[in-house]
Homo-oligomer: A and B are copies of this chain.
Amino acid sequence: MTYAAGRHFLQIPGPTNVPDSVLRAMSAATIDHRGPEFAELGLELLRDIRPVFGTTGPVVLYPATGTGAWEAALVNTLSPGDRVLCFETGHFATLWQEMARGLGLEVDFVPGDWRHGANPEVVAEKLAADRAYTIKAVCVVHNETSTGVTSRIPEVRAAMDAAGHPALLLVDTISSLGSIDYRHDEWGVDVTVSGSQKGLMLPPGLSFNAISEKALAAAETARLPRSFWDWKPMLAANQRGFFPYTPNTNLLYGLKEALRLLYAEGLPNVFARHARHAAATRAAVRAWGLEVLCLDEREYSGSLTAVLVPDGVDADKVRALILDRFDMSLGAGLGKLAGRIFRIGHLGAFNDLTLAGTLSGVQMGLTLAGVPIEPRGVAAALEYLQDN
């Protein structure tokens, strides 16, 4: 049993490995959330969070995890009985539309095979067919954490524009923000939902809504009940760097440090790093003779790679063996993919040698679990890394 020594490999697609300097920043003493020192911190963060969303508009910070930000996006913009268009891209898209139903919305849920992103052509068809503009919002998960498939938001936007349809575009970037190129303003997104515990390299506990002018206008008339999630008192208090109720100050300290790290590296470098690690991972998967879940190369995820195991293999048993033998956590198959895949997270605070260690653990684990693979994946990944 060697697993007790050394550092755990947390290679689920989030929460991700939090940099030590972020953890240290979070351990500073909590300050008065109504005092001048806090106001300065608040104004700084509310300004500096914007570039990572690709927006110059407001971003609301919730002292809550990402599921809350899903709810916030819906309750601030929609009214009971409103119709929304959702796409079955995977487990989380399914949960989001369930939430929408539960909140009293009517959901048009376009079925999917969990191996593709939201289809822009279907967006076009659906909106074109909706002459009465009964669809009030199109909801898309940018990067499906359950599948490793990244939907093409610019093409979705283009389809909406082509249809001349006034629906809002709500996008979940929980596992893409800070890892995969994303542009709230340029892509015409109305509400971008996100969380702290993936590309932002923070522990879970903070979540976000980036909000367009159009979404702000919609909030004026939206009638779903809301209080904790209400943008209005948030945006009002944010003017002076404060929050309408107690913020989770210590995570805000962490956010300040995480943003510093991201901007020090440079967002284009961050995105390129993730794309490169994703490509190296796919090279490993193919060299093992296994299949990447994502079928469309335009939709490969920079954050995680979901790997199909051969028929008859229980992916969860492989994961358990890897956890036991090599002290590494991998992501499980969720929902209809349970036991069929495992997911390798390669996002956040991550580098070449940690990826090499990660893929080595997967390769040894697959071998020890008796899965028939070619033990050449690590070598293929190293070749990719050293050549690119």
CB within 8 Å of B: which residues of A?
1-10, 12, 14-21, 23-24, 26-36, 62-68, 71, 99, 102-104, 195, 197, 203-205, 224-228, 230, 244-251, 261, 264-265, 269-270, 273, 276, 323, 325-329, 332, 349-358, 360-361, 363-364, 367-368, 375-376, 378-379, 382-383, 385-386
Known contacts: A27-B23, A31-B8, A357-B357. The answer to whether A15 contacts B375 by CB under 8 A is: no
Contact call A248/B375, Cβ cutoff below 8 A: no
Cβ contact of A67, chosen from B2, B34, B246, cutoff 8 A: B246
Cβ contact of A23, chosen from B29, B246, B247, B361, cutoff 8 A: B29
Contact call B273/A2, Cβ cutoff below 8 A: yes
Cβ contact of A386, chosen from B26, B35, B102, B367, cutoff 8 A: B367
Nearest 3 CB-CB pairings of A with B: A6-B351, A356-B360, A357-B357
- Which residues of the other chain, B, contact A261 by a CB distance below 8 angstroms? 5
Cβ contact of A28, chosen from B20, B67, B352, B358, cutoff 8 A: B20
- Which residues of the other chain, B, contact A323 by a CB distance below 8 angstroms? 35-36
Contact call A360/B332, Cβ cutoff below 8 A: no
Contact call A364/B386, Cβ cutoff below 8 A: yes
Distance A227 CA – B101 CA, assembled complex (angstroms): 10
- Which residues of the other chain, B, contact A276 by a CB distance below 8 angstroms? 2
Number of copies of this protein chain within its complex: 4
Cβ contact of A378, chosen from B226, B351, B382, cutoff 8 A: B382
Contact call B30/A18, Cβ cutoff below 8 A: yes
Known contacts: A34-B332, A228-B71. The answer to whether A203 contacts B249 by CB under 8 A is: yes
CB distance from A232 to the nearest CB of B (A): 11
Contact call A250/B203, Cβ cutoff below 8 A: yes
Known contacts: A205-B251, A250-B205, A356-B357. The answer to whether A245 contacts B8 by CB under 8 A is: no
Contact call B7/A245, Cβ cutoff below 8 A: no
Contact call A12/B28, Cβ cutoff below 8 A: no
Distance A323 CA – B353 CA, assembled complex (angstroms): 11
Chain B minimum-CB-distance residue to A80: B225
Contact call A20/B20, Cβ cutoff below 8 A: yes
Contact call B17/A29, Cβ cutoff below 8 A: yes
Distance A204 CA – B252 CA, assembled complex (angstroms): 11
Contact call A4/B265, Cβ cutoff below 8 A: yes
CB distance from A47 to the nearest CB of B (A): 22
Cβ contact of A247, chosen from B3, B30, B65, cutoff 8 A: B65
Contact call B386/A379, Cβ cutoff below 8 A: no
Q: A5-B270, A204-B249, A224-B225 are in contact. List 7 more A-B contacts (CB 8 A).
A: A18-B30, A23-B250, A24-B28, A34-B332, A35-B329, A62-B64, A379-B379
Cβ contact of A68, chosen from B197, B228, B244, B382, cutoff 8 A: B228
- Which residues of the other chain, B, contact A352 by a CB distance below 8 angstroms? 2, 325-326, 360-361, 364
Contact call B227/A71, Cβ cutoff below 8 A: yes
CB distance from A213 to the nearest CB of B (A): 24
Distance A3 CA – B353 CA, assembled complex (angstroms): 10
Distance A65 CA – B227 CA, assembled complex (angstroms): 13
Distance A114 CA – B328 CA, assembled complex (angstroms): 38
